[in-house]
Amino acid sequence: GAGVSQTPSNKVTEKGKYVELRCDPISGHTALYWYRQSLGQGPEFLIYFQGTGAADDSGLPNDRFFAVRPEGSVSTLKIQRTERGDSAVYLCASSLQGFGTEAFFGQGTRLTVV
């Protein structure tokens, strides 16, 4: 069966540009998470969706970051006015119901801001 799919796998963008990262979760999973992983660090929580709504967006670093999940399936992480410090691997995970159920991770999108 299909796992969590993230596109693109790599993205290079210039400082100041806008980027969108896409996550296609496992079918039927209501919970979706975005994480950011910098070199040598563990994944850092960004935002958690339960269905269409953001149940917890406390990890978004500032208002340049925004994420949507309009139909409760695919999610898009949007970063405005990118900065070099935004360079990282952005991970998406989904789980059947959220808390208490296993999260399955995608391969990630490696974002490089030059």
Residues that bind other proteins (CB under 8 A): 3-4, 33, 35, 40-45, 48, 55-56, 58-59, 91, 93, 98-100, 102-108
Smallest separation (angstroms) from other proteins to the CB of 98: 7
Q: Based on CB atoms, which residue is closest to other proteins, 79 or 91?
A: 91
Q: Which residues of the chain form beta strands (DSSP E)? A: 5-7, 10-13, 19-24, 31-37, 44-50, 53-56, 65-68, 75-79, 88-95, 104-105, 109-113
Q: Based on CB atoms, which residue is closest to other proteins, 35 or 65?
A: 35
Token pair listed for 29: 């999973």
Smallest separation (angstroms) from other proteins to the CB of 17: 26
Chain centroid to Cα 22, Å, comes to 7
